[in-house]
Amino acid sequence: MSRSRDGDLKQIMDDPAFEGNRFFRILFMIGVFSLPNYRIIVDLSSRQLYLLDENTVVRGFPIGIGTMLTQTPVGEYEIMNKAPNPGGPFGAFWMGLSRPHYGIHGTDNPASIGHLVSHGCIRMYNEDVLQLAAIVPLHTKVTIRQ
């Protein structure tokens, strides 16, 4: 189990909802229940962001990506920070990537989703980025591919 998942485990085990529910706590500890292992794949050619648990697609979201002159960078990254209501064109939420100045964020222009419109970031509908941000923890792996 990775360090971030250990922290998630501690947070869950310390949750008051587990108090008094020894049976469920034991089932969780022996692996009958497990924490999801989320990762994100951004597919530039289909303009889709996919949320996966291990290798199973949980959800797909339409996205806007970088223009021909300011392309979204292909590579392996991770979510380094999160900020609600960053303001301006970043919409309802910002998730910064390990590549400085790039992130996954909402938009103040929903008509831009599905198009080549950003300066390299990944744009999502505000309701979608809020759902995604609520699910994925910091350090979630993000693969951006053609």
Residues labelled as active-site residues: 105, 121
Closest CA to 95 of 86, 82, 107: 82
- Kindly report the number of other CB atoms within 10 A of residue 73's CB atom: 14
Beta bridge partners of 84: 93
Burial of 79 (0-12, 13-18, 19+ CB in 10 A): buried
